[in-house]
Structure 1
Amino acid sequence: MPLFHTLSPHDRVLVFAPHPDDEALGCGGLIQHAVALGAQVRVVFQTSGDNNPWPQRYVEQRWVIDEDCRRRWGARRRLEAVRSVETLGLQAEAAVFFGLPDQGLTRLWQEKDEQALALHVAELQTFRPTLLVVPSEDDNHPDHVGSHALIHEAMKCAGMNLPEWAYLIHRRWFCPEASGLTLQLTLAQKARKLAAIECHETQLFLSSSRFCSYARDQEVFIPSNPS
């Protein structure tokens, strides 16, 4: 089912990214497509990606990463995220940062953390999305699974039941042709997606080939409709 048949200029698309870079890797083409249609798009970065020690050790040539180091790294990654969303066609104001603990989203969901849920509920109620773009619950990364669960818990708290498209980055077994909505990227969209990925410079020092490989011809999303 082609993705472009399901989006409209009247949509309000709320993208959730557990870390800076997930917006470009998972749905950089979709964001461009929604912007081109005239839909409203906002990107919520649930964490700042500050608990990211190996790239930081490599870049800063230090072994011990303390709290000040993590804050500095998180600030750098937030700047990269803003450049990425601007590259994809959004204004800087379209990027929202929750500042939740990196590597802690599953724990926050399990504990039903009131502050984390309140941030998500407020965003849902303020932006009033018609479509959510979220990490897949089948992702291998615990923050992506926790992100998905937090979003669903927040929808329950807000009394909302919204359609969503899930993107899968850290893959378990998955056959997109069997169950996915496919967006075919143009050459220009693919190039812009690659440019957005390259905005995340901190992540390219150790993983450039892997990250840039996400600038593929297609993006696949797993749809879920409200019951």
Structure 2
Amino acid sequence: MPTSFTLSPQDRVMVFAPHPDDEALGCGGLIQQAVALGAQVRVVFQTDGDNNPWPQRYVEQRWKIDAACRQRWGARRRVEAARSLQTLGLPADAAAFFGLPDQGLTRLSQQKDARTLELHVSELQTFRPTLLVVPSQDDNHPDHVGSYDLIQEAMRRAGMDLPQWAYLIHRRWFCPEAAGLTLHLSLHQKARKLAAIECHETQLFLSSSRFCAYARDSEVFIPSNPT
């Protein structure tokens, strides 16, 4: 298996983020390098990360989180996502927000929910990516596994078989240097990745050190269906 890779100006890169912040944590360096090359980049946020009660309780100093509270939190996280993408060099229209249920992607995948899959198929067919950047199926977070499964089913329905690079976030014992494709970041790219992570202010109140630690010297991706 190769240990490094390159992008080209001809690439059309579609990044799937189960929640706002995954785009920066998992592939903030890759997005920067794709943009610098002139490749087209599209970032799909599958949920708004609105079912995120503990940071919301801390920030808003409230215990009960109802539907209106979650909607307000999700809207705030969309704004943070847009700022993150701008920091990484992307315009506002490079983002798509599906607004699917946070903590519900596995259920939607298991049900093969028609509307959810239609959203995914439409994005794939409209953007016509040459490369997908997706959450790993080995991630411990159920939304990340559900995201991966939804993408595979959507590709099947769209009649596509695309190369995929998977990023892994929620798996503490995984050693990223042990396997996969390594993308090395310059000091400038590392700093911009950190700045993009810091755009997600709602997530830093309780987890600042953990989040900022993702601004490493490299990003590692697990390839599948390589061409």
- In the other structure, the counterpart of 2:134 is 134
Stretch deviating more after TM superposition (178-187 or 42-51): 178-187
1:24-35 alignment, distance < 5 Å: 24-35=24-35
1:149-188 alignment, distance < 5 Å: 149-171=149-171, 173-188=173-188
Write the distance in 1 (CA, Å) between the matches of 2:57 and 2:218: 34
Taking structure 2 as the reference length, what is the TM-score of the superposition?
Answer: 0.97
Residue by residue over 1:151-203, the C-alpha shift from the partner in whole angstroms, topping out at 9 and shown as x without a partner, is 00000111110000000000164343443100111000000000000000000
- In the other structure, the counterpart of 1:49 is 49
Q: How many residue pairs were aligned?
A: 226
Q: Given residue 137 of structure 2, which amino acid in structure 1 is its aligned partner?
A: E
In structure 2, do the counterparts of structure 1 residues 127 and 17 end up closer, same or farther at CA, with 3 Å as the change threshold?
same
Gaps of 5+ in 2: none
Q: Given residue 180 of structure 2, which amino acid in structure 1 is its aligned partner?
A: G
Write the distance in 2 (CA, Å) between the matches of 1:145 and 1:2: 24
Stretch deviating more after TM superposition (23-32 or 217-226): 217-226
Q: Is structure 2 residue 68 aligned with structure 1 residue 74?
A: no
Q: Contact 2:24 / 2:196 at 8 angstroms: preserved in 1?
A: yes
Alpha-carbon shift at residue 7 of structure 1 (Å): 1.1
Write the distance in 1 (CA, Å) between the matches of 2:175 and 2:210: 20
Q: Contact 1:80 / 1:201 at 8 angstroms: preserved in 2?
A: yes
* Cα RMSD, aligned residues only: 1.2
Write the distance in 2 (CA, Å) between the matches of 1:213 and 1:226: 29
- In the other structure, the counterpart of 2:147 is 147
Identity %: 82
In structure 2, do the counterparts of structure 1 residues 204 and 51 end up closer, same or farther at CA, with 3 Å as the change threshold?
same
Q: Is structure 2 residue 214 aligned with structure 1 residue 204?
A: no
Structure 2 SS opposite 1:214:
coil
Structure 2 SS opposite 1:222:
strand
Write the distance in 2 (CA, Å) between the matches of 1:175 and 1:66: 38
Write the distance in 1 (CA, Å) between the matches of 2:167 and 2:3: 15
Stretch deviating more after TM superposition (198-207 or 169-178): 169-178
Alpha-carbon shift at residue 6 of structure 1 (Å): 3.0
Taking structure 1 as the reference length, what is the TM-score of the superposition?
Answer: 0.97
Alpha-carbon shift at residue 87 of structure 1 (Å): 0.2
Residue by residue over 1:36-89, the C-alpha shift from the partner in whole angstroms, topping out at 9 and shown as x without a partner, is 111000100000000000000000000000000000000000000000000000
Q: Contact 1:17 / 1:135 at 8 angstroms: preserved in 2?
A: yes
Write the distance in 2 (CA, Å) between the matches of 1:9 and 1:173: 35
- In the other structure, the counterpart of 1:221 is 221
- In the other structure, the counterpart of 1:189 is 189
Q: Is structure 2 residue 125 aligned with structure 1 residue 113?
A: no
Structure 1 SS opposite 2:133:
strand
Structure 1 SS opposite 2:30:
helix
